[in-house]
Structure 1
Amino acid sequence: MQSKIVVKLCIVYMLVCYWGFSFGQNAGDAIIQNKKSLDTARQTDLIDIGKAIFRIRPGKIREEKDKKLYFSILPIGGTAPGGTGNALITSTSASMYLGPKKTTNVSTATFTPYWNLGSRFGLPVRTNIWLPNNTWLIQGDTRFLVYPQYTWGIGSEGDKEGTLLSYKYIRFYQNALKRIKPYLYAGLGYNLDYRFNINTEESSPELEQYSGYQYGTGKNSFSSGISLNMVYDTRGNAINPLPGMYGNLVYRINPKFLGSNENWSSVYLDVRKYIPMNPEKRHQQNTLALWSYFWTALNHKTPYLDLPSTGWDPYNRSARGIDQNRYRGRTLFYAESEYRRDITANGLLGFVVFANVNTVSGSGSLFTSWKPAAGTGLRIKFNKFTNTNIGIDYGMSKGYSAVLLSLGEAF
């Protein structure tokens, strides 16, 4: 037991050191570079092409530089999050400035409903609001999801056959963080996860018997708690981050007196770094993006569906090329790198190449089994003023592959 605790502390220490090293950089230079890096006069997007095709006179189109509200709406089809077949997906993104552009990051709200023409659909709404001059950061994540979705039990050893799990899921997360120094924010949040009507297939054993885990494997699972949050962000634009740094530390406590089925807590540490490969050409995308997170449950009574699992980071963007839920345990460590590059000089087309790896505890100790994935993708500039791309990614791992469509970058 002590050795496991030491391993966890060592990983947290390494990530914090990496985070701290980046803190030592000049944050002011990073944010100024972000604000200057997108030269829309040299860019072309799908909106420009549409205007040319339909011969729409743009007039004083460059006045849009002072515009504060942008919408991106994209009806697409593809694999629903977590597999189980294709789905109809509509992604709507609103980007807005709530204060002066030079001193205020762009706020975003995304609504991505999907339906697989069967028993599965989702209504997720996510918001990231920056108040004028970045004095406050307000984060929101509200979802109503209806599954079936495959699950594979605890741990990463062996090739256990998955079982189809049906349930309904309500999530309500709200965080308010106050700026305490440039680019550094701290605050409180409320987090609710309610899963009900939990059932396996008729021919499969019940979830508790299948997983060998007794908490949160009944018909309902309710977790309600508060979180302590810290964010460090020099990106300026989370839709398509250019050179900068992001860090997020969340300590969540779920006591019974707030309605949780069990007392449990968790820690989530997320670190991202964006490195320009040719900083002299700011109007072109040529970036190496790095991402890692460490997620651990601190109690043995954490509900099964609240345990750290692949693809269940806050925005469900990790583990491309690996099925969501494929690996689950009390502790998960994840790392990913992606190279992003323009194909055309006007920024209309680009490509990415990515690789990721994860390890979870459960069947054996952490770091005894690494599960890699890799892939590549095409980028099409949808809106140059918000630097929003349409992403078409193909990811693969042992025994699994998928095409992923998105509005915006994976991270």
Structure 2
Amino acid sequence: MAVKPETDVFGQERKNWLKRFVSKTISDTTAPGKPSFRVYPTLAYSPETSFEFGFSSLLLFQAKNDTVNRLSEINAFTFVTLEGQYGIWLDNAIYGDKDNWFFLGKTKFQRFPLLYYGIGPETPGNEPALIDANYLLLRQRILRKVVRNAFIGPEFDYQQLYNTDFKQPEGHDVYELPTGSNGGKNLGLGIAMVYDNRHNVLNVRKGLFAELSFLSYRKALASDHNFFGVNLDFRSSHSTSKRNVFAWQVYGNFMSGDVPFNQLALMGGEMIMRGYYSGRYRDKNMVAAQAEHRWLPFKFSRRFGGAVFGGAAVVAPKVNEFSWKHIRASGGVGLRYLLFAKKDIYLRLDVGFTKDGPGFYLFTGEAF
């Protein structure tokens, strides 16, 4: 009897492993109410990072495996770039049985040079400084239900910037060193009030989320600076048809005191004002708004969908100094892929366009 070479057996095993991995990644065979977990590779590109390679993982579950309870999610994202940057992000939105508790937060650690364009609504964009540093963020809200869909509870926010190196543009000094440029740590304690009637945090087809929070950072509480902030976040989603969703968001960040540059209100990023580098414009106060129309999925496809979005934002040192002439606009398009069919979760690829150029974003779940 002829025996296949050992290399063929190993080769077939590798092929079968790859086939099982791909099948598990794109298929959703989990029974309703049971936890779902996926790990899949990601690839992205931006001028700041060059090519970025990483893995995303997503855990979805419902308290006590009861489909009546809201869908909770823990989303992790790790990356490394050709520029030697690396990090891990972790977001959580966890609902207890019958919504009695709600844990909403994020964790970040990254070694990622920050581009610094200065502070204010009219900063130049041709020669940013480079701040190379380690960055740690721990933010969590521990909320208790008071009435249906309404929660209140303590919030803490710890941010640390260390091993910093502020590099001016080559050949000359352009920027005055901002508060916190040598690094530091700040612990904020406060309170958050949330109204949330969404059932699926990652893909809201109908629902309202509203948050008002207050955080105080004091030297007496292990902070390097004294300052405080008020945050407002209002999001609303509306089903315009079985497949289509229209969503909008208004966001405000208002701060006062000796605020370090990395904790100022930051315009841009993967959530709001997509297309702008996060912190392209920064100051103590910011107001932003965005709207988005989503096809989930397209009428001619079972898994692929898309989106169009637009937004505007403005920053200012004081609330009474907001100016129409400083409003910045962004807009873009996105592609969606149905990653968890039974739980209605999509993988999103967005391209945001601004006067500074495009920005690309690949994440699980919608931006808001």
310, 313, 322: which one aligns with 1:355? 310
Residue pairs, 1:386-397, within 5 angstroms: 386-397=343-354
From 130, 134, 152, the equivalent of 1:164 is 130
Match of 1:235 among 189, 198, 218: 198
- Alpha-carbon separation, structure 2, partners of 1:410 and 1:338: 10
Query: Aligned residues, how many?
Result: 342
Q: Deviations over 1:326-367 (max 9, x none)?
A: 010110111110001131356411110000111001499313
Residue 245 of structure 1 and its aligned partner are, at CA, apart by 0.5
| Residue equivalent to 2:254 | 296
Match of 1:320 among 240, 256, 274: 274
Q: Could you say which structure has the higher helix fraction?
A: 1
Is the Cα contact below 8 Å between 1:267 and 1:298 reproduced in 2? no
- How high is the TM-score relative to the length of structure 1? 0.77
Match of 2:56, SS state, is: strand
Compare the two structures and name the one with the higher strand fraction: 2
Structure 1 unaligned blocks of 5 or more: 1-49
Aligned equivalents of 1:376 and 1:202: distance in 2?
34
Aligned match of 2:327: 370
| 1:137 counterpart letter in structure 2 | F
TM-score by length of 2: 0.86
Give the unaligned 5+ runs of structure 2.
Answer: 1-18
Identity %: 22
- Counterpart Cα distance in 2 of 1:286 and 1:210: 48
- The CA RMSD over aligned residues, in Å, is 2.5
Match of 2:338 among 368, 381, 396: 381
How far 1:249 sits from its partner (Å)?
1.3
Partner of 1:253: 216
Do structure 1's residue 340 and structure 2's residue 294 form an aligned pair? Answer: yes
Mapping 1:154-303, distance limit 5 Å: 154-157=119-122, 159-160=124-125, 161-201=127-167, 210-212=174-176, 214-217=178-181, 219-278=182-241, 281=242, 285-299=243-257, 301-303=258-260
Structure 1 residues 330 and 190, CA gap change in structure 2 (3 angstroms): same
Q: State whether residues 100 and 132 of structure 1, in contact with CA within 8 Å, keep that contact through their aligned partners in structure 2.
A: no
SS of equivalent residue, structure 2 residue 164:
strand
Is residue 128–residue 169 contact of structure 2 (8 Å, CA) maintained in 1? Answer: no
Closer, same or farther in 2 for the Cα pair 1:204/1:306, shift >3 Å? farther
**Cα offsets for 1:189-218 (capped at 9, x unmatched):** 221101012222265599xx754465222x
User: Structure 1 runs of 4+ off > 4 angstroms?
Assistant: 202-206
Q: Which has the higher contact order (CA 8 A, sep 6+)?
A: 1
Q: Pick closer, same or farther for the CA change 1:270–1:203 going to 2, 3 Å.
A: closer
User: Measured at CA, do residues 382 and 168 of structure 1 come closer, stay the same or move farther in structure 2, by a change above 3 Å?
Assistant: same
Q: Match for residue 399 of structure 1?
A: 356
Structure 2 Cα separation of the partners of residues 401 and 66 of structure 1: 39
The 3 A distance-change label for structure 1 pair 353 and 318 is same
